[in-house]
Amino acid sequence: MNPAGLVISTGETVLFWVIAPLMVLAALGLLFVKRAVHAAMCLVFVMVSMAVLYIAQEAPFLGVVQVVVYTGAVMMLFLFVLMLVGVDASDSLTETIRGQRWIGLLIGLGLAVVLGSVVARAAFPPAVGLNGGDPGGVANPQALARVLFGDYVVAMEAVGVLLVTAAVGALVLTHRRRLTPKQNQRSVADARIKALPDGVVLTPLPSPGVYARSNAMDTPALGPDGEQVPQSVSRVLRIRGQERPAPHVPADELVHTPESERDA
Amino acid sequence: MNPLILAEAAPGVAADFSQETIWASIVKAVLIVVFLLTSVLFAIWFERKVVARMQVRPGPNWHGPFGLLQSLADAMKLLLKEDLTVTRADRFVYLLAPMISVFCSLLVFAVIPFGPSLPFPWTDWTTPAQLTDFPVAVLYVLAAASLGVYGIVLGGWASGSTYPLLGSVRSTAQVISYELAMGLSLVSVFIMAGSMSTSQIVSSQTQIWWFIPLAPAFVIYVISMIGETNRLPFDLPEAEGELVSGYMTEYSSMKFAWFFLAEYINMLNVSAVCVTLFLGGWRAPVPDGFLGGALNEGWLPVIWFLVKLWAVMFVFVWVRGTLLRLRYDQFMVFGWKVLIPVALAWVVVLAVVQWLQRVQEVSYQQFIPVIIGTAVVFIAVMWFWPEKKEAPPGAGKEKEPVDAFAGGFPVPPLPGEKLPPSKRFGKEVHGE
């Protein structure tokens, strides 16, 4: 027990020793797995575990926001891009900048040295908890709100303005001038009506024929006059010549054909 | 200090968990899972039956009384189906995705209060009727929902097939954008209740349930909760006519059942959050102090909670039985250009009003002329606002031919612009 009276419970210790090794494994996985989506999943695991540790350390707001913002929004956008662009193991691993691996390795080592020395030299004061050991203290979100919107309100506003500027800038830069009038349901309908004299059909095309022994989409339907309707077979099939020609539709299935014509 | 006691009473939380032991928590957790699983079985029957009655047919009525065992039979059928794994699937993620979905959907009910302190049967023990609560419980619900999306995204991606990928991309975009509107509508409850803990929010609704003073936020929440759970009319990710069945196309048997289960548990989740935040939680639908508050004690609140929960579930089914599916672009435009701006504006208005009331101590009587004045000005502006004239781009342009080499480089004409006639136009071609 430390002087401030804050006890780290057995549960928290167990939680830490279960989660921390898993986090390290996932972080290593991030470096070594082949597929980009798997790496993203490793990162998500690290983030969620970190949120769990935050919550265990009396910072539920930070933990939950970590999940909502980083895991729920930022990583999701990453994943989106990965999935849509289709980054995969088959991507080329050739160096595009000469010696980039060595530079990367050097910078990585430097970062590791800096972080290691900082962690090694850090002296931890006795833990007091976020309420300073005062059980009746303000709840976590309120305290955070007071700091953010009281002490650092100018910085908050500056960051807010910066982000909005960036977002609006991105919109402006990707904005394209509209060259043609915008299509809507009404204008599309009007255009189709206008195109009627050119042989455009307003209604959906007739579906293929359904017969007792064949209801495949290559069999043409019969019109009310008993004639076959060519449009009822998909255009692609017709162009490819895969439409089942008329004689192949068994004559005895043409129930609409008058008796006299069937024999002919 | 007793190691079995989990937490001190947290500040800003109404429910008292100071006497909670780990065994009570385990029992509650098991009870919640049992409740959710049986509720899902009931919900499937409920939905099919209600939709059937709306379409003037009997619905499932063969297995068990009133067809109640129909969903059990369906579950058995799913269990016994062949479990397919597509060849192109990424096996690990393919298996992981439905698990993520179910796991995250099970998390939410941990912070939903079923009632106030409940007496344990045959003991003099009482315990809050919820697994846990903390100062940011409602944000935790949002976090669980945003993690649940990973199940959908990864499921669609890992199937290694086109329709599931399209479905999962749609679904993600949908859930993310509707979660924004949902979060903004929840903010107004936080402002009024002064807390994000579920038990505190319920106890702040003794005078009036928040859906009356916060009606706009309530409407936005109800719309976005249907969008969030991918239900009709917003079931674009699994639109049968367009995407076979979206991200679950390549799933069968138990893996499909996990997704199915997650979808229904999510419906229960958002309904429970709706009840807790807007509809008074477990409070009886009578004025506070009616019968000396006897209706809000003991096990009765659980009944009120369940009645409200199923009323919201009925709305889900009702909407499904009534409305048609939206087109995807209309749906996104609705979310981003209507729901989110309205929710933002509402939060700002509410914050200003609250600031005036609490900090500046302006009374309700002083508000009335301001509200009437604003309404009059708004109506007047809307009345005299000049109607926007539709001018097609290029219509108002002059008919003069443009200079195609204006900046020294050849530039193609825009639609509606005319190039000067070519110098070679109409000339004879010589030398042939």
Structure tokens at B372: 């009437």
Domain closes at, from A54, A72, A87: A87
B374 token code pair = 């604003």
A65 close contact with B: CB closer than 8 A? yes
Q: Which of B195, B100, B178 is nearest to B142 (CA)?
A: B178
Residue B92: list chain A partners with CB under 8 A.
38
d(CA B220, CA B340): 9
User: A30 vs chain B: nearest CA distance in angstroms?
Assistant: 15
Query: Which of A35, A72, A141 comes nearest B143 by C-beta?
Result: A72
Q: Give per-residue pLDDT as tens, A135-154.
A: 545 556 777 788 888 889 99
Number of folded domains in chain B? Answer: 1
pLDDT of residue B6: 43
DSSP 8-state class, residue B83? -
Residues constituting chain A = 264
Nearest to B146 among A38, A71, A136 (CB): A71
Q: Are B39 and B268 in contact (CB under 8 A)?
A: yes
pLDDT in tens, A152-197: 999 999 999 999 999 999 989 988 877 777 888 888 889 889 988 8
Sequence-separated (6 or more) residues with CB below 8 Å from residue B132 = B17, B25, B110, B111
Q: Of A45, A52, A76, A80, which to mutate for an interface test with B (greatest number of B Cβ within 10 Å)? A: A76
Residue B407 lies in a domain: no
At residue B8, the pLDDT reads 47
Q: Determine what percent of chain A is predicted with pLDDT higher than 70.
A: 80
The answer to whether B163 touches B244, Cβ cutoff 8 Å, is yes
Residue A237 domain-assigned? Answer: yes
Give the closest-approach CA distance of A223 to chain B in angstroms.
Answer: 27
Whether chain B has a CB inside 8 Å of the CB on A74: the answer is no
Q: Are B78 and B235 in contact (CB under 8 A)?
A: no
Interchain contact, B143 vs A64, CB within 8 Å: yes
* Domain-embedded: residue A109: no
What distance in Å separates the CA atoms of residue B223 and residue A223, rounded to the nearest whole number?
Answer: 46
* CB-CB contact of B96 with A38 (8 Å): no
Residue B11: its chain A contacts at CB < 8 A? 131, 135-139
By the 10 Å C-beta count (0-12 exposed, 13-18 middle, 19+ buried), B421 is classed as: exposed
Residue A112 falls inside a structural domain: no
How far is A129 from chain B, CA to nearest CA, in Å? 13
Same domain, residue pair A165 and A213 = no
In contact, A245 and A253? CB cutoff 8 Å: no
The rounded distance, in Å, linking the Cα atoms of B78 and B82 is 9
Residue in chain A lying closest to B417 (CA): A179
Tokens of B21: 């032991």
pLDDT one-digit tens code per residue, A87-97: 555 566 666 77
Residue found by looking up tokens 């980083």 in the block: A70
Mean pLDDT of chain A: 80
Q: Domain for residue B256, yes or no?
A: yes
Residues of chain A with C-beta less than 8 angstroms from the C-beta of B198: none
Contact B78, B71 (CB under 8 A): no
User: What integer is the mean pLDDT of A199-221?
Assistant: 80
- Across the interface, which of A9, A48, A84 has its CB nearest the CB of B3? A9
Residue B159 belongs to what domain range?
Answer: 81-377
Tell me the C-alpha distance between A199 and A220, whole Å. 20
Give the Cβ contact number of residue A196 at 10 Å: 10
List, for residues A123-132, the tens digit of each pLDDT value: 887 777 666 5
- Across the range A209-222, mean pLDDT stands at 78
Residues of B numbered 163-202 whose beta carbons fall under 8 angstroms of chain A's beta carbons: which are they? 165, 168-169, 172, 176, 179, 195-196
Q: How far apart are CA B86 and CA A74, in angstroms?
A: 30
C-alpha distance from residue A211 to each of A70, A214, A244, B95 (Å): 58, 5, 13, 43
Q: Does A73 touch chain B (CB under 8 A)?
A: yes
Q: Which pair of tokens denotes residue B13? A: 């939380």
Q: At residue A199, does pLDDT exceed 70?
A: yes
Structure tokens at A216: 């495949």
The amino acid that residue B187 corresponds to is V
**Distance, CA of B49 to CA of B59 (rounded, Å):** 5
Q: Are B184 and B344 in contact (CB under 8 A)?
A: yes
| pLDDT band at A116; cut points 50, 70, 90 | very high
**Does one domain contain both A208 and A153?**
no
Whether A188 is in a domain gets the answer no
DSSP β-bridge partners for residue B21: B5
**What CATH number should be reported for the domain holding residue A42?**
1.20.120.1200
B165 vs A136: CB contact, 8 Å cut-off?
no
Cβ of residue A136 closer than 8 Å to a chain B Cβ? yes
Task: Provide Rg for chain A, Cα atoms.
Answer: 34
- B415 to chain A, minimum CA–CA distance in Å? 6
pLDDT score of A164:
94
Task: Report the length, in residues, of chain B.
Answer: 432
Q: Residue B381 and residue B282: Cα distance in Å, rounded?
A: 44
Q: Do A178 and B393 touch (CB under 8 A)?
A: yes
Q: What does the pLDDT profile of chain B (432 residues) look like in tens digits?
A: 333 444 444 556 777 777 777 888 888 899 999 999 999 999 999 999 999 999 899 888 888 888 888 888 888 888 898 888 888 888 888 888 999 999 999 999 989 998 888 777 777 777 788 888 888 889 899 899 888 888 888 888 888 888 888 888 888 788 778 888 898 999 989 888 888 888 888 888 888 888 888 888 999 999 999 988 888 788 877 776 677 777 888 888 888 888 889 999 999 999 999 999 998 888 888 777 777 677 777 778 888 899 999 999 999 999 988 988 888 888 888 888 889 999 999 999 888 888 888 877 777 777 778 888 888 998 999 888 877 666 555 555 556 677 777 777 787 777 777 777 777 777 666 654
The radius of gyration of chain B's CA atoms, rounded to the nearest angstrom, is 28
Contact at CB, B8 and A135, closer than 8 angstroms: yes
Measured CA distances, B128 to A27, B133, B299 (Å): 39, 10, 11
Answer whether B415's CB lies under 8 Å from A179's CB: yes
Neighbours of A144 (CB within 10 A): 16
Residue A106 confidence class, pLDDT cut points 50, 70, 90:
very high
Return the SS3 of A127.
coil
B323 to chain A, any CB pair closer than 8 A? The answer is: no
- A230-253 burial, b for 16+ CB within 10 Å, e for fewer? eebbeeeeeeeeebbeeeebeeee
Contact A141/B196, CB-based, under 8 Å?
yes
The Cα A26–Cα A46 span in angstroms is: 6
Nearest CB among A11, A61, A137 relative to B11 is that of A137
- Which residue among A150, A169, A188 closes a domain? A169
- Select from A64, A83, A181 the Cβ nearest to the Cβ of B139: A64
- Closest partner residue to A72 among B147, B196, B415, by Cβ? B147
Domain that holds residue A19: 8-87
CA pair distance B64, B72, nearest whole angstrom: 10
Counted across chains A and B, CB pairs separated by less than 8 A come out at 97
Nearest residue to B152 via CA among B131, B132, B142, B166: B166
Q: Is A97 helix (H, G, I), strand (E, B) or coil?
A: coil
Q: Is A229 helix (H, G, I), strand (E, B) or coil?
A: strand
Q: Where are the beta strands (DSSP E) in B108-257?
A: 117-119, 126-128
Task: Check CB contact of A33 with chain B, cutoff 8 Å.
Answer: no
Q: Which residues of chain B make contact with A7, given a CB cutoff of 8 A?
A: 1
Q: Is the peptide bond before B98 cis (omega within 30 degrees of 0)?
A: no
| Helix H or strand E encompassing A221 | strand A221-222
Question: Which tokens hold the place of A256?
Answer: 């609409």
**Is the predicted ipTM greater than 0.90, yes or no?**
no
Cβ atoms of B335 and B181 within 8 Å: the answer is yes
The structure tokens listed for B275 are 């009840």
In this predicted structure, what is the pLDDT of residue A114?
Answer: 95
**Tokens 């895991």, residue located:** A71
Q: How many domains does chain A have?
A: 3
**In degrees to the nearest 10, what's the CA dihedral of A213, A216, A222, A226?**
-30
* pLDDT of the residue at A155: 92
Paired strand residues for A228: A222
Are B184 and B347 in contact, with CB atoms under 8 Å apart?
yes
* Secondary structure percentages of chain B, helix, strand, coil, to 5: 60, 0, 40
Q: Where are the alpha helices (DSSP H) in A86-152?
A: 100-121, 140-146
